[in-house]
Chain A
Amino acid sequence: MSVAPPGPRPAVSSARALRMAAPIAVALALVPLVLPPYSSILLAYGLVMAIGALGFNLLLGYTGLLSFGHSAYFGVGAYAVALMVKYLKVTSMELFLVGAIVASIMITALFGVVCVRYTTIFFGILTLALSQVLWSLAFKFFWVTGGTDGLRVPTPSLFGGLVTGAGDKITFMSHAYYYYVLIMFCLCVALMWVIVNSPFGMALQAIRDNETRARFVGVRIWPYRWVAFLVSGVFTGLAGALWVPLNGLTTPDIMHWTFSGEIVFMTVLGGFRSFAGPIVGAVVFNYLKTYAVGYTVYWQLLLGVVLVALVLSLPTGIVGTAGRLLARFQGRS
Protein backbone atom coordinates (compact mmCIF):
# COMPACT_ATOMS: atom_id res chain seq x y z
CA MET A 1 0.00 0.00 0.00
CA SER A 2 1.41 3.39 -0.97
CA VAL A 3 0.84 6.17 1.44
CA ALA A 4 1.89 9.78 1.28
CA PRO A 5 5.67 10.21 1.48
CA PRO A 6 7.28 12.07 4.35
CA GLY A 7 7.79 15.77 3.87
CA PRO A 8 5.27 17.39 1.58
CA ARG A 9 1.82 18.09 2.98
CA PRO A 10 -0.31 16.65 4.37
CA ALA A 11 1.87 13.81 5.77
CA VAL A 12 3.53 16.27 8.18
CA SER A 13 1.22 18.92 9.58
CA SER A 14 2.56 22.41 10.18
CA ALA A 15 2.07 22.05 13.94
CA ARG A 16 4.06 18.81 13.99
CA ALA A 17 6.76 20.33 11.77
CA LEU A 18 7.03 23.25 14.19
CA ARG A 19 7.36 20.86 17.13
CA MET A 20 10.18 19.07 15.29
CA ALA A 21 11.90 22.28 14.19
CA ALA A 22 11.81 24.18 17.49
CA PRO A 23 14.38 22.02 19.35
CA ILE A 24 16.67 22.08 16.31
CA ALA A 25 16.46 25.89 16.19
CA VAL A 26 17.26 26.06 19.91
CA ALA A 27 20.24 23.72 19.44
CA LEU A 28 21.50 25.85 16.55
CA ALA A 29 21.15 28.97 18.72
CA LEU A 30 23.34 27.35 21.39
CA VAL A 31 26.17 26.52 18.99
CA PRO A 32 28.18 29.79 19.41
CA LEU A 33 27.91 29.45 23.17
CA VAL A 34 29.24 25.90 23.42
CA LEU A 35 31.43 25.36 20.37
CA PRO A 36 34.58 27.17 19.24
CA PRO A 37 34.24 30.07 16.76
CA TYR A 38 35.51 27.95 13.86
CA SER A 39 32.57 25.54 14.30
CA SER A 40 30.05 28.39 14.35
CA ILE A 41 31.46 29.92 11.20
CA LEU A 42 31.52 26.53 9.47
CA LEU A 43 27.90 25.96 10.44
CA ALA A 44 27.00 29.46 9.23
CA TYR A 45 28.39 28.48 5.81
CA GLY A 46 26.26 25.33 5.95
CA LEU A 47 23.10 27.26 6.84
CA VAL A 48 23.71 29.74 4.03
CA MET A 49 24.10 26.91 1.54
CA ALA A 50 20.98 25.32 2.99
CA ILE A 51 18.98 28.42 2.02
CA GLY A 52 20.32 28.11 -1.52
CA ALA A 53 19.58 24.38 -1.69
CA LEU A 54 16.10 24.95 -0.31
CA GLY A 55 15.46 27.38 -3.15
CA PHE A 56 16.96 24.99 -5.68
CA ASN A 57 14.74 22.17 -4.47
CA LEU A 58 11.58 24.16 -5.13
CA LEU A 59 12.43 23.51 -8.77
CA LEU A 60 13.84 19.99 -8.54
CA GLY A 61 11.77 18.35 -5.81
CA TYR A 62 8.50 20.20 -6.19
CA THR A 63 8.35 21.27 -9.84
CA GLY A 64 10.37 18.48 -11.43
CA LEU A 65 12.89 20.80 -13.14
CA LEU A 66 16.60 20.08 -12.77
CA SER A 67 18.56 23.32 -13.00
CA PHE A 68 22.29 23.26 -13.64
CA GLY A 69 22.49 27.03 -13.43
CA HIS A 70 21.81 27.98 -9.83
CA SER A 71 25.38 29.16 -9.37
CA ALA A 72 24.31 32.15 -11.48
CA TYR A 73 21.70 33.31 -8.94
CA PHE A 74 24.04 32.63 -6.02
CA GLY A 75 26.65 34.72 -7.82
CA VAL A 76 24.17 37.46 -8.64
CA GLY A 77 23.39 37.79 -4.92
CA ALA A 78 27.06 37.82 -3.99
CA TYR A 79 28.11 40.24 -6.73
CA ALA A 80 25.15 42.54 -6.02
CA VAL A 81 26.53 42.95 -2.48
CA ALA A 82 30.12 43.37 -3.67
CA LEU A 83 29.14 45.97 -6.28
CA MET A 84 27.06 47.87 -3.71
CA VAL A 85 30.18 48.04 -1.55
CA LYS A 86 32.42 49.08 -4.45
CA TYR A 87 30.21 51.70 -6.07
CA LEU A 88 27.74 52.83 -3.39
CA LYS A 89 29.93 52.36 -0.30
CA VAL A 90 27.02 50.60 1.41
CA THR A 91 27.80 48.60 4.57
CA SER A 92 24.30 47.80 5.86
CA MET A 93 23.46 44.09 5.63
CA GLU A 94 19.76 44.89 5.25
CA LEU A 95 20.49 47.03 2.19
CA PHE A 96 22.73 44.25 0.87
CA LEU A 97 19.83 41.84 1.13
CA VAL A 98 17.40 44.23 -0.58
CA GLY A 99 19.92 44.82 -3.38
CA ALA A 100 20.57 41.10 -3.78
CA ILE A 101 16.86 40.32 -3.89
CA VAL A 102 16.19 43.01 -6.52
CA ALA A 103 19.14 41.83 -8.64
CA SER A 104 18.07 38.19 -8.31
CA ILE A 105 14.50 39.03 -9.30
CA MET A 106 15.68 40.85 -12.43
CA ILE A 107 18.01 38.06 -13.57
CA THR A 108 15.77 35.11 -12.69
CA ALA A 109 12.72 36.80 -14.21
CA LEU A 110 14.60 37.18 -17.48
CA PHE A 111 16.23 33.72 -17.44
CA GLY A 112 12.94 32.18 -16.36
CA VAL A 113 11.10 33.47 -19.42
CA VAL A 114 13.66 31.67 -21.59
CA CYS A 115 13.89 28.44 -19.59
CA VAL A 116 10.45 27.48 -18.26
CA ARG A 117 9.03 26.62 -21.68
CA TYR A 118 11.31 23.60 -21.67
CA THR A 119 11.69 20.58 -19.42
CA THR A 120 14.12 17.70 -18.83
CA ILE A 121 17.56 17.95 -20.45
CA PHE A 122 16.61 21.04 -22.49
CA PHE A 123 15.78 22.97 -19.34
CA GLY A 124 18.98 21.79 -17.65
CA ILE A 125 21.19 22.76 -20.59
CA LEU A 126 19.56 26.17 -20.96
CA THR A 127 20.05 27.01 -17.30
CA LEU A 128 23.65 25.83 -17.51
CA ALA A 129 24.33 27.88 -20.64
CA LEU A 130 22.82 31.04 -19.18
CA SER A 131 24.79 30.67 -15.95
CA GLN A 132 27.97 30.31 -18.00
CA VAL A 133 27.13 33.58 -19.75
CA LEU A 134 27.07 35.33 -16.36
CA TRP A 135 30.25 33.54 -15.31
CA SER A 136 32.07 34.73 -18.42
CA LEU A 137 30.83 38.30 -17.84
CA ALA A 138 32.15 38.20 -14.28
CA PHE A 139 35.38 36.70 -15.59
CA LYS A 140 36.00 39.09 -18.51
CA PHE A 141 34.65 42.45 -17.27
CA PHE A 142 37.45 42.69 -14.71
CA TRP A 143 37.29 46.50 -14.47
CA VAL A 144 33.82 46.08 -12.98
CA THR A 145 33.96 42.68 -11.31
CA GLY A 146 37.64 42.44 -10.47
CA GLY A 147 38.02 39.40 -12.76
CA THR A 148 39.69 36.43 -11.12
CA ASP A 149 40.87 38.67 -8.25
CA GLY A 150 37.23 39.15 -7.35
CA LEU A 151 35.76 41.84 -5.15
CA ARG A 152 36.32 42.23 -1.43
CA VAL A 153 33.40 42.71 0.94
CA PRO A 154 34.15 44.15 4.37
CA THR A 155 32.33 43.19 7.56
CA PRO A 156 28.81 44.63 7.31
CA SER A 157 26.73 46.37 9.96
CA LEU A 158 23.65 44.45 11.10
CA PHE A 159 20.12 45.34 12.21
CA GLY A 160 20.16 48.88 10.84
CA GLY A 161 23.59 49.66 12.31
CA LEU A 162 22.82 48.41 15.85
CA VAL A 163 25.57 45.82 15.52
CA THR A 164 28.77 46.76 13.74
CA GLY A 165 31.77 44.73 12.75
CA ALA A 166 34.25 46.91 14.64
CA GLY A 167 36.58 44.71 16.65
CA ASP A 168 37.58 41.11 16.18
CA LYS A 169 36.22 39.76 12.91
CA ILE A 170 36.25 36.13 14.04
CA THR A 171 34.15 36.97 17.10
CA PHE A 172 31.76 39.01 14.98
CA MET A 173 31.33 36.27 12.40
CA SER A 174 30.99 33.45 14.90
CA HIS A 175 28.45 35.27 17.08
CA ALA A 176 26.60 38.30 15.71
CA TYR A 177 26.76 37.27 12.08
CA TYR A 178 26.05 33.63 12.92
CA TYR A 179 22.81 34.68 14.65
CA TYR A 180 21.96 36.94 11.72
CA VAL A 181 22.37 33.98 9.34
CA LEU A 182 20.38 31.77 11.71
CA ILE A 183 17.47 34.24 11.78
CA MET A 184 17.49 34.51 8.00
CA PHE A 185 17.70 30.72 7.75
CA CYS A 186 14.68 30.25 10.04
CA LEU A 187 12.69 32.88 8.11
CA CYS A 188 13.57 31.24 4.78
CA VAL A 189 12.66 27.76 6.04
CA ALA A 190 9.32 29.04 7.36
CA LEU A 191 8.60 30.89 4.14
CA MET A 192 9.50 27.91 1.96
CA TRP A 193 7.37 25.65 4.15
CA VAL A 194 4.37 27.91 3.54
CA ILE A 195 5.08 28.08 -0.19
CA VAL A 196 5.36 24.32 -0.74
CA ASN A 197 2.30 23.67 1.41
CA SER A 198 0.21 26.40 -0.21
CA PRO A 199 -2.24 25.81 -3.07
CA PHE A 200 0.54 27.13 -5.33
CA GLY A 201 2.90 24.47 -3.97
CA MET A 202 0.28 21.82 -4.71
CA ALA A 203 0.01 23.14 -8.26
CA LEU A 204 3.79 22.81 -8.70
CA GLN A 205 3.66 19.19 -7.54
CA ALA A 206 0.77 18.59 -9.94
CA ILE A 207 2.85 20.00 -12.81
CA ARG A 208 5.76 17.78 -11.73
CA ASP A 209 3.58 14.65 -11.67
CA ASN A 210 1.47 15.18 -14.77
CA GLU A 211 1.70 18.33 -16.85
CA THR A 212 -1.16 17.39 -19.19
CA ARG A 213 -3.59 16.69 -16.39
CA ALA A 214 -2.51 19.83 -14.57
CA ARG A 215 -3.54 21.81 -17.66
CA PHE A 216 -6.90 20.07 -17.65
CA VAL A 217 -7.64 21.00 -14.07
CA GLY A 218 -6.96 24.62 -14.95
CA VAL A 219 -3.33 25.10 -13.91
CA ARG A 220 -1.43 27.41 -16.28
CA ILE A 221 1.87 25.60 -16.66
CA TRP A 222 4.35 28.27 -17.80
CA PRO A 223 3.34 31.08 -15.41
CA TYR A 224 3.50 28.68 -12.46
CA ARG A 225 6.88 27.36 -13.51
CA TRP A 226 8.10 30.90 -14.00
CA VAL A 227 7.04 31.95 -10.50
CA ALA A 228 8.69 28.82 -9.07
CA PHE A 229 11.85 29.69 -11.01
CA LEU A 230 11.74 33.24 -9.66
CA VAL A 231 11.25 32.19 -6.04
CA SER A 232 13.94 29.55 -6.38
CA GLY A 233 16.41 32.05 -7.84
CA VAL A 234 15.67 34.66 -5.18
CA PHE A 235 16.29 32.18 -2.36
CA THR A 236 19.60 31.21 -3.95
CA GLY A 237 20.48 34.88 -4.53
CA LEU A 238 19.75 35.60 -0.88
CA ALA A 239 22.09 32.78 0.05
CA GLY A 240 24.78 34.38 -2.10
CA ALA A 241 24.28 37.71 -0.34
CA LEU A 242 24.63 36.08 3.09
CA TRP A 243 27.63 34.07 1.98
CA VAL A 244 29.80 36.90 0.68
CA PRO A 245 30.40 38.74 4.03
CA LEU A 246 31.34 35.37 5.57
CA ASN A 247 33.82 34.72 2.81
CA GLY A 248 34.97 38.34 2.56
CA LEU A 249 35.53 37.96 -1.17
CA THR A 250 33.59 36.95 -4.23
CA THR A 251 35.19 35.58 -7.39
CA PRO A 252 33.77 34.22 -10.67
CA ASP A 253 34.25 30.66 -9.34
CA ILE A 254 30.89 30.81 -7.58
CA MET A 255 29.16 31.43 -10.92
CA HIS A 256 30.85 28.52 -12.65
CA TRP A 257 28.68 25.52 -13.51
CA THR A 258 30.72 23.30 -11.18
CA PHE A 259 29.30 25.27 -8.26
CA SER A 260 25.79 24.57 -9.66
CA GLY A 261 26.82 20.92 -9.54
CA GLU A 262 27.60 21.29 -5.84
CA ILE A 263 24.11 22.69 -5.20
CA VAL A 264 22.60 19.76 -7.11
CA PHE A 265 24.76 17.34 -5.19
CA MET A 266 23.96 18.65 -1.72
CA THR A 267 20.24 18.48 -2.54
CA VAL A 268 20.42 14.93 -3.84
CA LEU A 269 22.61 13.92 -0.90
CA GLY A 270 20.04 15.16 1.61
CA GLY A 271 17.08 13.87 -0.42
CA PHE A 272 15.13 16.01 -2.88
CA ARG A 273 11.83 14.28 -2.15
CA SER A 274 11.68 15.67 1.36
CA PHE A 275 11.42 19.21 2.62
CA ALA A 276 14.36 18.88 5.05
CA GLY A 277 16.57 16.94 2.62
CA PRO A 278 18.31 19.92 0.98
CA ILE A 279 18.94 21.52 4.39
CA VAL A 280 20.61 18.41 5.80
CA GLY A 281 22.41 17.78 2.51
CA ALA A 282 23.85 21.31 2.39
CA VAL A 283 25.15 21.20 5.96
CA VAL A 284 26.63 17.69 5.56
CA PHE A 285 28.17 18.53 2.17
CA ASN A 286 29.74 21.65 3.63
CA TYR A 287 31.37 19.66 6.44
CA LEU A 288 32.51 16.91 4.07
CA LYS A 289 34.05 19.41 1.68
CA THR A 290 35.77 21.39 4.43
CA TYR A 291 37.30 18.32 6.06
CA ALA A 292 38.27 16.81 2.72
CA VAL A 293 40.07 20.03 1.76
CA GLY A 294 41.88 20.05 5.12
CA TYR A 295 42.80 16.38 4.95
CA THR A 296 44.47 16.04 1.57
CA VAL A 297 45.45 17.97 -1.53
CA TYR A 298 43.52 15.32 -3.45
CA TRP A 299 40.37 16.48 -1.68
CA GLN A 300 38.22 16.42 -4.83
CA LEU A 301 39.02 12.75 -5.33
CA LEU A 302 38.30 11.93 -1.69
CA LEU A 303 35.10 14.00 -1.68
CA GLY A 304 33.93 12.41 -4.92
CA VAL A 305 34.45 8.88 -3.63
CA VAL A 306 32.70 9.63 -0.33
CA LEU A 307 29.76 11.29 -2.08
CA VAL A 308 29.34 8.51 -4.66
CA ALA A 309 29.38 5.96 -1.82
CA LEU A 310 26.79 7.96 0.12
CA VAL A 311 24.45 8.41 -2.85
CA LEU A 312 24.70 4.73 -3.81
CA SER A 313 24.05 3.55 -0.28
CA LEU A 314 21.33 6.12 0.39
CA PRO A 315 19.40 6.47 -2.89
CA THR A 316 16.60 8.50 -1.29
CA GLY A 317 19.10 10.75 0.43
CA ILE A 318 19.97 11.06 4.08
CA VAL A 319 16.54 12.31 5.12
CA GLY A 320 14.65 9.85 2.93
CA THR A 321 16.62 6.95 4.36
CA ALA A 322 16.27 8.23 7.93
CA GLY A 323 12.51 8.56 7.42
CA ARG A 324 12.27 5.00 6.09
CA LEU A 325 14.31 3.60 8.98
CA LEU A 326 12.23 5.56 11.48
CA ALA A 327 8.99 4.26 9.92
CA ARG A 328 10.34 0.69 10.10
CA PHE A 329 11.36 1.17 13.72
CA GLN A 330 7.96 2.60 14.63
CA GLY A 331 6.29 -0.28 12.80
CA ARG A 332 8.15 -2.81 14.96
CA SER A 333 7.58 -1.10 18.30
Chain B
Amino acid sequence: MSLLVTKDLVKWFGETHAVDHVNFTVKESEVLALIGSNGAGKTTLVNLISGLFRPDEGQIIFRDADVTHQSVHGRIKAGIARSFQLVNLFDQLTALDNVALTIFSRESKIANLVTLAASDSAVWDEAHQILKLFGLEPKARMLAGGVSQGERKLLDVAVAYALRPKLLFLDEPTSGVSTREKAPIMDTVTSVVRSTGISAAIIEHDMDVVFNYSDRIVAMHQGAILADGTPDEIRRNETVTTTLIGTTETR
Protein backbone atom coordinates (compact mmCIF):
# COMPACT_ATOMS: atom_id res chain seq x y z
CA MET B 1 0.00 0.00 0.00
CA SER B 2 1.34 3.44 -0.92
CA LEU B 3 2.16 5.82 1.88
CA LEU B 4 3.25 8.66 -0.39
CA VAL B 5 2.42 9.38 -4.00
CA THR B 6 3.55 12.30 -6.11
CA LYS B 7 1.59 13.04 -9.27
CA ASP B 8 3.36 14.78 -12.14
CA LEU B 9 5.50 16.80 -9.77
CA VAL B 10 7.38 19.62 -11.47
CA LYS B 11 9.98 22.10 -10.25
CA TRP B 12 11.85 24.55 -12.45
CA PHE B 13 14.88 26.59 -11.52
CA GLY B 14 14.98 29.13 -14.32
CA GLU B 15 15.16 27.09 -17.52
CA THR B 16 16.22 23.93 -15.72
CA HIS B 17 13.69 21.19 -15.01
CA ALA B 18 15.04 20.09 -11.63
CA VAL B 19 12.05 17.77 -11.19
CA ASP B 20 10.22 16.91 -14.39
CA HIS B 21 6.74 15.33 -14.08
CA VAL B 22 7.81 12.86 -11.43
CA ASN B 23 5.40 10.15 -10.30
CA PHE B 24 7.05 8.75 -7.21
CA THR B 25 5.70 6.40 -4.57
CA VAL B 26 6.85 5.18 -1.18
CA LYS B 27 5.14 2.11 0.25
CA GLU B 28 4.37 1.33 3.87
CA SER B 29 7.32 0.02 5.91
CA GLU B 30 9.83 -0.13 3.09
CA VAL B 31 13.38 1.11 2.83
CA LEU B 32 13.72 2.81 -0.52
CA ALA B 33 16.89 4.12 -2.07
CA LEU B 34 16.86 7.14 -4.34
CA ILE B 35 19.87 7.14 -6.62
CA GLY B 36 21.16 9.31 -9.41
CA SER B 37 24.12 11.43 -10.35
CA ASN B 38 24.59 14.95 -8.99
CA GLY B 39 21.89 17.24 -10.34
CA ALA B 40 19.50 14.35 -11.05
CA GLY B 41 16.84 15.99 -8.87
CA LYS B 42 16.88 13.67 -5.84
CA THR B 43 17.37 16.34 -3.18
CA THR B 44 14.97 18.71 -4.96
CA LEU B 45 12.33 15.98 -4.92
CA VAL B 46 12.85 15.49 -1.17
CA ASN B 47 12.78 19.27 -0.66
CA LEU B 48 9.43 19.41 -2.47
CA ILE B 49 7.93 16.57 -0.48
CA SER B 50 9.20 17.86 2.87
CA GLY B 51 7.96 21.39 2.15
CA LEU B 52 11.22 23.26 1.78
CA PHE B 53 10.31 24.12 -1.83
CA ARG B 54 6.90 24.68 -3.41
CA PRO B 55 6.24 22.65 -6.57
CA ASP B 56 5.40 24.48 -9.79
CA GLU B 57 3.00 21.75 -10.84
CA GLY B 58 1.71 18.44 -9.56
CA GLN B 59 0.39 16.96 -6.37
CA ILE B 60 1.80 15.33 -3.26
CA ILE B 61 -0.51 12.81 -1.61
CA PHE B 62 0.51 11.51 1.80
CA ARG B 63 -1.66 8.94 3.58
CA ASP B 64 -4.50 9.75 1.15
CA ALA B 65 -4.43 13.45 1.96
CA ASP B 66 -3.23 16.20 -0.38
CA VAL B 67 -0.29 17.92 1.37
CA THR B 68 0.93 19.85 -1.68
CA HIS B 69 0.15 23.23 -0.15
CA GLN B 70 0.72 22.36 3.49
CA SER B 71 3.41 24.12 5.51
CA VAL B 72 6.53 22.34 6.75
CA HIS B 73 4.89 22.25 10.17
CA GLY B 74 1.75 20.64 8.75
CA ARG B 75 3.74 17.97 6.94
CA ILE B 76 5.68 17.16 10.11
CA LYS B 77 2.39 16.76 11.98
CA ALA B 78 1.17 14.52 9.14
CA GLY B 79 4.24 12.30 9.62
CA ILE B 80 6.95 13.41 7.18
CA ALA B 81 10.42 13.99 8.63
CA ARG B 82 13.84 14.40 7.11
CA SER B 83 17.53 14.65 7.73
CA PHE B 84 19.90 16.77 5.68
CA GLN B 85 22.81 16.15 3.31
CA LEU B 86 24.96 18.62 5.26
CA VAL B 87 24.37 17.77 8.89
CA ASN B 88 21.89 20.22 10.35
CA LEU B 89 21.95 20.21 14.13
CA PHE B 90 21.71 22.67 17.00
CA ASP B 91 25.43 22.81 17.60
CA GLN B 92 25.38 24.84 20.83
CA LEU B 93 22.92 22.42 22.44
CA THR B 94 23.88 19.01 23.77
CA ALA B 95 23.05 15.83 21.86
CA LEU B 96 20.41 15.12 24.48
CA ASP B 97 18.89 18.59 24.08
CA ASN B 98 18.73 18.16 20.30
CA VAL B 99 16.53 15.11 20.71
CA ALA B 100 14.54 16.40 23.71
CA LEU B 101 13.73 19.65 21.91
CA THR B 102 12.29 17.63 19.04
CA ILE B 103 10.15 15.59 21.44
CA PHE B 104 8.85 18.78 23.08
CA SER B 105 7.92 20.00 19.62
CA ARG B 106 6.24 16.73 18.65
CA GLU B 107 4.22 16.73 21.86
CA SER B 108 3.16 20.38 21.28
CA LYS B 109 4.86 21.42 24.53
CA ILE B 110 7.45 23.63 22.88
CA ALA B 111 5.51 26.89 23.33
CA ASN B 112 5.47 26.48 27.10
CA LEU B 113 7.53 29.28 28.62
CA VAL B 114 6.49 29.07 32.26
CA THR B 115 7.66 25.55 33.13
CA LEU B 116 11.24 24.34 33.37
CA ALA B 117 12.00 21.89 30.57
CA ALA B 118 14.00 19.77 33.01
CA SER B 119 10.85 19.00 35.01
CA ASP B 120 9.27 16.93 32.22
CA SER B 121 10.94 13.61 32.97
CA ALA B 122 8.93 11.69 30.35
CA VAL B 123 10.52 13.76 27.57
CA TRP B 124 14.05 13.33 28.92
CA ASP B 125 13.58 9.60 29.46
CA GLU B 126 12.44 9.21 25.87
CA ALA B 127 15.34 11.35 24.64
CA HIS B 128 17.77 9.07 26.49
CA GLN B 129 16.09 6.01 24.98
CA ILE B 130 16.38 7.39 21.47
CA LEU B 131 20.05 8.22 21.96
CA LYS B 132 20.59 4.68 23.26
CA LEU B 133 18.81 3.27 20.21
CA PHE B 134 21.27 5.10 17.98
CA GLY B 135 24.27 4.25 20.14
CA LEU B 136 24.74 7.88 21.16
CA GLU B 137 23.95 7.69 24.88
CA PRO B 138 27.63 8.18 25.90
CA LYS B 139 27.58 11.49 23.98
CA ALA B 140 24.34 12.73 25.54
CA ARG B 141 25.95 15.62 27.46
CA MET B 142 28.32 16.69 24.71
CA LEU B 143 27.56 19.62 22.47
CA ALA B 144 26.24 18.47 19.10
CA GLY B 145 28.93 20.59 17.46
CA GLY B 146 31.62 18.66 19.30
CA VAL B 147 30.92 15.02 18.36
CA SER B 148 32.50 13.17 15.43
CA GLN B 149 31.11 13.41 11.89
CA GLY B 150 29.73 9.87 11.99
CA GLU B 151 28.01 10.56 15.30
CA ARG B 152 26.64 13.83 13.95
CA LYS B 153 25.14 11.92 11.02
CA LEU B 154 23.48 9.49 13.41
CA LEU B 155 22.29 12.31 15.66
CA ASP B 156 20.81 14.03 12.62
CA VAL B 157 18.75 10.91 11.93
CA ALA B 158 17.91 10.50 15.64
CA VAL B 159 16.50 14.04 15.73
CA ALA B 160 14.28 13.31 12.73
CA TYR B 161 13.30 9.94 14.23
CA ALA B 162 12.26 11.67 17.49
CA LEU B 163 9.36 13.21 15.56
CA ARG B 164 7.93 9.66 15.28
CA PRO B 165 7.39 10.04 11.55
CA LYS B 166 5.60 7.65 9.22
CA LEU B 167 8.01 8.54 6.44
CA LEU B 168 11.63 9.48 6.98
CA PHE B 169 13.79 11.01 4.26
CA LEU B 170 17.51 10.58 4.79
CA ASP B 171 19.65 12.69 2.50
CA GLU B 172 23.00 10.95 2.11
CA PRO B 173 23.30 9.60 5.66
CA THR B 174 26.82 8.28 5.00
CA SER B 175 28.34 11.15 3.04
CA GLY B 176 31.45 12.66 4.54
CA VAL B 177 32.20 9.69 6.78
CA SER B 178 34.95 7.10 6.38
CA THR B 179 34.24 3.84 4.53
CA ARG B 180 34.70 1.98 7.81
CA GLU B 181 31.92 4.02 9.48
CA LYS B 182 29.34 3.60 6.71
CA ALA B 183 28.18 0.07 7.53
CA PRO B 184 27.69 0.68 11.29
CA ILE B 185 25.72 3.85 10.53
CA MET B 186 23.49 2.10 8.01
CA ASP B 187 23.10 -0.96 10.27
CA THR B 188 21.91 1.28 13.09
CA VAL B 189 19.62 3.41 10.95
CA THR B 190 17.96 0.56 9.08
CA SER B 191 17.54 -1.59 12.19
CA VAL B 192 15.76 1.30 13.97
CA VAL B 193 13.63 2.03 10.92
CA ARG B 194 12.67 -1.60 10.28
CA SER B 195 11.96 -2.37 13.93
CA THR B 196 9.49 0.51 14.16
CA GLY B 197 7.82 0.01 10.77
CA ILE B 198 8.74 3.44 9.48
CA SER B 199 9.13 3.92 5.75
CA ALA B 200 12.50 5.37 4.83
CA ALA B 201 13.61 6.97 1.59
CA ILE B 202 17.38 7.23 1.45
CA ILE B 203 19.28 9.35 -1.03
CA GLU B 204 22.63 7.65 -1.49
CA HIS B 205 25.57 7.60 -3.88
CA ASP B 206 27.38 4.59 -2.45
CA MET B 207 26.09 1.61 -4.45
CA ASP B 208 27.19 -0.91 -1.81
CA VAL B 209 24.99 0.87 0.72
CA VAL B 210 22.14 1.11 -1.79
CA PHE B 211 22.12 -2.57 -2.77
CA ASN B 212 22.75 -3.92 0.74
CA TYR B 213 20.16 -1.96 2.67
CA SER B 214 17.21 -1.11 0.41
CA ASP B 215 14.06 -3.04 -0.52
CA ARG B 216 13.45 -0.96 -3.61
CA ILE B 217 15.48 1.47 -5.68
CA VAL B 218 14.31 4.48 -7.66
CA ALA B 219 16.84 5.85 -10.12
CA MET B 220 16.60 9.47 -11.26
CA HIS B 221 18.27 11.18 -14.18
CA GLN B 222 17.91 14.80 -15.33
CA GLY B 223 14.89 15.42 -13.12
CA ALA B 224 12.92 12.34 -14.20
CA ILE B 225 12.57 8.79 -12.94
CA LEU B 226 14.73 6.47 -15.01
CA ALA B 227 13.92 3.17 -13.33
CA ASP B 228 12.09 1.74 -10.36
CA GLY B 229 12.54 -1.79 -9.03
CA THR B 230 14.11 -4.19 -6.57
CA PRO B 231 17.89 -4.13 -6.13
CA ASP B 232 18.21 -7.16 -8.44
CA GLU B 233 16.05 -5.55 -11.12
CA ILE B 234 18.05 -2.33 -10.97
CA ARG B 235 21.32 -4.25 -11.09
CA ARG B 236 20.16 -5.96 -14.29
CA ASN B 237 18.73 -2.79 -15.82
CA GLU B 238 21.08 -1.82 -18.63
CA THR B 239 19.87 1.76 -18.87
CA VAL B 240 20.60 2.34 -15.21
CA THR B 241 23.91 0.52 -15.41
CA THR B 242 25.18 2.58 -18.29
CA THR B 243 23.62 5.89 -17.26
CA LEU B 244 24.13 5.90 -13.51
CA ILE B 245 25.90 3.07 -11.82
CA GLY B 246 28.95 3.22 -14.05
CA THR B 247 29.40 6.89 -13.29
CA THR B 248 28.47 6.51 -9.64
CA GLU B 249 30.90 3.69 -9.02
CA THR B 250 33.75 5.74 -10.36
CA ARG B 251 33.03 8.54 -7.89
A and B form one complex: yes
Chain A residues at the B interface, C-beta cutoff of 8 Å: 1-5, 9-10, 13-14, 194-195, 197-203, 205-206, 208-210, 212-220, 224, 227, 231
Which secondary structure dominates where chain A touches chain B? helix
Residue of A nearest to B82 (CB): A216
In the bound assembly, the distance between CA atoms of A201 and B101 in angstroms comes to 10
In the bound assembly, the distance between CA atoms of A202 and B112 in angstroms comes to 10
Min CB–CB distance A207 → chain B (angstroms): 9
Indicate if the CB atoms of A210 and B91 lie closer than 8 Å.
yes
B89: chain A residues at CB < 8 Å are 209-210, 213
Residue of B nearest to A198 (CB): B113
Residue of B nearest to A207 (CB): B90
B110: interface (CB < 8 Å): yes
B159: interface (CB < 8 Å): yes
B88: interface (CB < 8 Å): yes
A-B CB contacts (within 8 Å), total count: 127
Asked if A198 meets B76 with Cβ closer than 8 Å, knowing A3-B146, A212-B88, A219-B110, the reply is no
Chain B residues numbered 53-99 whose CB sits less than 8 Å from any CB in chain A: 72-73, 76-77, 81-82, 84, 88-94, 96-97
Contact of A218 among B50, B73, B116 (CB under 8 A): B73
Indicate if the CB atoms of B94 and A210 lie closer than 8 Å.
no
B114: chain A residues at CB < 8 Å are 194-195, 198
The number of chain B residues with a CB under 8 A from chain A is 44
Segment of B137-145, B203-211, B237-245 engaged in the interface with chain A: B137-145
Indicate if the CB atoms of A209 and B101 lie closer than 8 Å.
no
Residue of B nearest to A199 (CB): B104
Indicate if the CB atoms of A217 and B112 lie closer than 8 Å.
no
Indicate if the CB atoms of A14 and B105 lie closer than 8 Å.
no
Indicate if the CB atoms of A199 and B110 lie closer than 8 Å.
yes
B43: interface (CB < 8 Å): no
Indicate if the CB atoms of B110 and A2 lie closer than 8 Å.
no
Residue among B77, B97, B110 with the highest chain A CB neighbour number at 10 A? B110
A209: chain B residues at CB < 8 Å are 89-93
B104: chain A residues at CB < 8 Å are 199, 202-203
Indicate if the CB atoms of A217 and B117 lie closer than 8 Å.
no
Min CB–CB distance B101 → chain A (angstroms): 5
A213: chain B residues at CB < 8 Å are 84, 88-90, 159
Asked if A202 meets B97 with Cβ closer than 8 Å, knowing A3-B141, A213-B89, A217-B102, the reply is yes
Question: What are 13 residue pairs bridging A and B, where the CB atoms are less than 8 Å apart in the complex?
Answer: A9-B97, A13-B118, A198-B112, A200-B111, A206-B90, A213-B84, A213-B89, A215-B72, A216-B81, A216-B82, A216-B160, A217-B163, A218-B106
